[in-house]
Amino acid sequence: MHKQANKDEENCRIEAGSLSRYREKLPRIAEKIIGSCSDKECYTHIDYEPIPSKESVIEIIDRFREVLFPGYFSRTRIDPSNLTYSMGQAVSLLFDLLSDQICRSIRHDCFRYDLPCTDCADQGNQIALGVLESIPEIRKVLATDIRATYDGDPASKSHDEIIFSYPGIFAVMVYRVAHTLFGFNVPLLPRIMTEYAHGLTGIDIHPGARIGERFVIDHGTGVVIGETAQIGENVRIYQGVTLGALSIPKDAGNQLRGKKRHPTIEDEVIIYSGATILGGDTVIGARSVIGGNVWITRSVPPDTRVMTEEPRLVYK
């Protein structure tokens, strides 16, 4: 027993010595990484002015969720007697977080692109107030999205179930807040928000897209809605739908940036799973139904059903 203990101790010392030999190499590796920070071909942000924080953006989304759906995601119980106090606290905290991240986003662009000073702090405060003042309207639009989801989904048992658990509602909620920020020309922040929702839900909605009321994403995984897409009211889309751009020439980003590249979907359209609709000139007319797995690059008149031919089954 004593011999075994001595052997174990000896092995531990050998392992510790071996580990130290590896760790001695780490300062040299760190120096190489530091040296690469001056390489203009690599992307580095080493500056005294901080950039937006992804962790803070996630907290902002969580705080918006609390305010947009009071009582559902609150960290403490909310009842009629403490609603005024709780909402005041929540809005105050959200303002501080949001104005700081807006300021960082604007200042980052000013420094990086050598833009004229726009008083970033004051602008951040003004925009944050403008976004918070939009919350009642965002709540009303989200309510139409929730009701439309419930009306069209027999599997949903209540509005509460949809608010708590449907990924489509979460992605649309984040989009509607990010779209408001996008409308104030806030850089970086709106895209960080929607990409966070994309990572959680598999639903990719660019904050620049324009989407009407009673919008439903059913199931949702794999949905892509591009920056210049326009979607009317009472539209329902299913998983795997792409509202995208046609392929563009290499290095044509600057040439097409800001131009309409994604389709327009008019009111009361249904688009089933796996459908791909491409192009800025493509319009899907009102009340049309787009079947699953179709590929569309031309406009579709109103009241049209677009389906692929029924597949032929081969039994072997």
SS3 at position 97: helix
Each residue of 237-263: pLDDT tens digit? 999 999 999 977 676 666 677 789 999
pLDDT of residue 51: 86
pLDDT of residue 1: 53
The whole-chain average pLDDT of the chain stands at 91
pLDDT of residue 121: 81
pLDDT of residue 13: 62
Under CATH, which architecture does the 48-203 domain have?
Answer: Orthogonal Bundle (1.10)
pLDDT of residue 41: 87
Answer with the residue of higher pLDDT: 12 or 122.
122
CATH code 2.30.110.10 for 209-310: no
Question: Where residue 12 falls among pLDDT bands split at 50, 70, 90?
Answer: low
Q: Is the pLDDT of residue 7 over 80?
A: no
Question: Where residue 81 falls among pLDDT bands split at 50, 70, 90?
Answer: very high
Which tokens hold the place of 268?
């009361």
Q: Is the pLDDT of residue 45 over 60?
A: yes
Which tokens hold the place of 285?
């007319």
Q: Which residues are registered as beta bridge partners of 224? A: 204, 242
What's the CA angle centered on 12, arms 6 and 13, to 5 degrees? Answer: 90
pLDDT of residue 113: 66
pLDDT of residue 64: 97
pLDDT, average across residues 196-206: 98
* Helix or strand run (H / E) with residue 81: none
* Helix or strand run (H / E) with residue 159: helix 159-165
Question: Where residue 49 falls among pLDDT bands split at 50, 70, 90?
Answer: confident
Asked whether the beta carbons of 148 and 215 are under 8 A apart, the reply is: yes
pLDDT of residue 102: 95
Domain ranges across the chain = 48-203, 209-310
Least-confidence region, from 60-64, 120-124, 155-159: 120-124
Question: Where residue 47 falls among pLDDT bands split at 50, 70, 90?
Answer: confident
- In the chain, where do the E strands start and end? 204-205, 210-211, 216-218, 224-225, 230-231, 236-238, 242-244, 264-265, 270-271, 276-278, 283-284, 289-290, 295-296, 305-306
Question: Where residue 115 falls among pLDDT bands split at 50, 70, 90?
Answer: low
pTM to 2 decimals?
A: 0.88
